[in-house]
Amino acid sequence: DSCISRISHWVKNIREDLLFSRHSVQGDVDEFTENIRKQINENVKNPESFFDEQEKEAIKNKLDELQEKVRELEKRFNFPEAETKKVEAAIEKSKKDINVYPKGVWYKTAGNKVINALKGVLTTKEGREALLEVMKNLLR
């Protein structure tokens, strides 16, 4: 008899756990995003200058690495293909923009594009770690 009366309490606890979990993940994503933006602001040297050909090639290679890591994560964690397509589009746009913007502007716009496209992937610890690794490499 007491089982039926406890169902509403049990459902309330599940709801609270789900809400906390969602806010926790969003907080992690926001913190991660802010950390990347901070690293960009601190590590970009000569933000008003443009990339030379060697820098452009190195960045394009690193963006290709990011794209490959996202594909690996998609396979391993069964991300929706649509998420991967968003990331690939953001990366391709960033590659084209490298010829247009100065370093500081490019890093900020490319970072925002990629981070926004990766919101779905960033909900996993592995996704955040992969992106952080590639972003650190981009800033070297």
pLDDT per residue as tens digits for the range 14-29: 766 665 554 444 556 6
- Can you tell me the mean pLDDT for 122-130? 66
Please state, in angstroms and rounded to a whole number, the distance separating the CA atoms of residues 55 and 8.
60
Q: Report phi then psi at 118, rounded to 5.
A: -90, 5
Please state, in angstroms and rounded to a whole number, the distance separating the CA atoms of residues 111 and 133.
13
Please tell me what DSSP assigns to residue 139. Answer: T
Burial of 6 (0-12, 13-18, 19+ CB in 10 A): exposed
In this prediction the pTM is 0.64
pLDDT tens string 47-103: 899 999 999 999 999 889 888 888 887 787 677 777 788 888 999 999 999 999 999
